[in-house]
Amino acid sequence: MSIELFRQDRHACVMFARLGDEGGDAVQSNQFLLVNGSTGAILDPGGNIAYHELYLGMSAFFPPHKLAAILASHADPDIIASLDRWMTATEAPVYISRVWERFAPHFCKPGKTAGRIVGLPDAGERLRLGTGDERFELWALPAHFLHAEGNFQFYDPVSRILFSGDLGASMGVSLNPEQAVTSLAAHIPRMEGFHRRYMVSNKVLRLWAAMVRPLDIQMIAPQHGAPMVGAAVGEFIDWVEQLACGIDLFGAGNYRVPG
Ligand SMILES: [Fe+2]
Ligand SMILES: [Fe+2]
């Protein structure tokens, strides 16, 4: 049901990977819970299909009113369509790009998000979440146009996991999201089609690669499919850095009035 990606002392990262199973048409997606003592954060909580299991999973670690933050990489339905329910069940603020700050309330009943949305500036931020001696850091790294116009990835400096949102996503029948990928080559067919169509341009991928390469990344945990560890981390950065995608591949042929 849930997979522990990291645990050391009172710090843990948990992935919920199979929550879309009952959804039929819905794409498989991962939700992440970061635990720090008796508080924590939820990353990309997902849509209504994911809500129940994630809420129960979180409650096993700390009571809902202790949730320090809800973090959204961007504003797609598989990222935060369950926002209304999280606004009701917890007191946590939502961190999302300023680009989406005034769009996200559309997922909720009127007034539900009042005073609870924190718009992240394009430059990102080292967030300090929680209170007192349970304070923890989470870095919001700019990942704009990968794929959304306002897009963040979240880096946990304790576990050294990079929660990469849709970048690094993998899909397909041969995929087991619970099995981390250690070598990239055999995994590329599960990623290539998605990245070519959903990522905006190679220019942005190159800028992203240059930003993350100096970071100590133990794992890249995407919002769809399997996490990448070991050699696969560097191999993934090298792979996307040279990938043509999005507007690199679009031309006049893609903009014709359908017959
Ligand atoms: Fe998305
Ligand atoms: Fe997604």
Q: Say whether the peptide bond before residue 74 is cis (omega within 30 degrees of 0).
A: no
Residue list, CB under 5 A from ion ligand 1: 76, 166
Ligand lying closest to the C-alpha of residue 74? 1
Residues of the chain under the 50 pLDDT cut: none
Residue list, CB under 5 A from ion ligand 2: 78, 166, 223
Ligand lying closest to the C-alpha of residue 46? 2
Ligand lying closest to the C-alpha of residue 100? 1
pLDDT confidence of residue 20: 52
pLDDT confidence of residue 23: 55
Measured at the alpha carbon of residue 17, what is the angle toward residues 162 and 93, in degrees to the nearest 5? 60
Rounded Cα distance between 143 and 12, Å, is 24
pLDDT confidence of residue 57: 95
Residues 105-137 pLDDT 10s: 999 999 999 999 999 999 999 999 999 989 999
Ligand 2 centroid from CA 133, angstroms = 34
Measured from the Cβ of residue 207, the count of other Cβ atoms closer than 10 Å reads: 16
pLDDT confidence of residue 21: 55
Rounded Cα distance between 124 and 122, Å, is 5
Ligand 1 centroid from CA 164, angstroms = 11
What 3-state DSSP class applies to 75? coil
Ligand 1 centroid from CA 166, angstroms = 6
Ligand 2 centroid from CA 219, angstroms = 18
Ligand lying closest to the C-alpha of residue 222? 2
pLDDT confidence of residue 32: 98
Global confidence as pTM: 0.96
